[in-house]
Amino acid sequence: MPTSPVTAPHSASNGAPPAIMLELVDEHGTTIGTAEKLAAHQPPGQLHRAFSVFLFDERGRLLIQRRALGKYHSPGVWSNTCCGHPYPGEAPFTAAARRTHEELGVSPSLLAEAGTVRYNHPDPDSGLVEQEYNHLFVGMVQDTVDPDPEEVGETVFVTPAELAERHAAAPFSAWFMTVLDAARPAIRELTGPAGGW
């Protein structure tokens, strides 16, 4: 996407990587400003715009990922297909499609809005706080996944029963069940009653 003063990362003068800026919102999802990504996640957290993607294969199985061990927030835990933050001024749908391709090397064959959910989830391991106004998306993926190893440690397609077993046995992101439950009506519409979601 082209950068502008609104969307361009703020550069650091000390040679550090440019700061990633997030869009701060009020309780209704209206933009009220910006904040640096890590600062927005420091306790008590600043409410910011985010997105979560749930992609399914033709058999109705959900693609989940284990976050790379090198990530500063929630490393090594399982989560939904893709999640992240739009750049300031970037449409959530555009950000969801962009980030899915960046992390997983695929573009959804179908991607549809599935509502929003607002939550506040402290992460006890990192001490960071997910204070988010999250835009949900569901869709289909038909291409072979080619994850970026700096972002994704592992991927797997799961049925509802397989997800329940994995969720009971392995750590998942603090926000996973909140966003999954909020997206369930759209997921059921996408996968049909036989999908079991």
Catalytic residues: 83, 132
Residue type, 34: T
Dihedrals φ, ψ of 98, to 5°? -60, -50
Q: Is 110 helix (H, G, I), strand (E, B) or coil?
A: strand
* Cα 7 to Cα 156: distance, rounded to the nearest angstrom: 33
Q: Using the 8-state DSSP alphabet, how is residue 7 labeled?
A: T
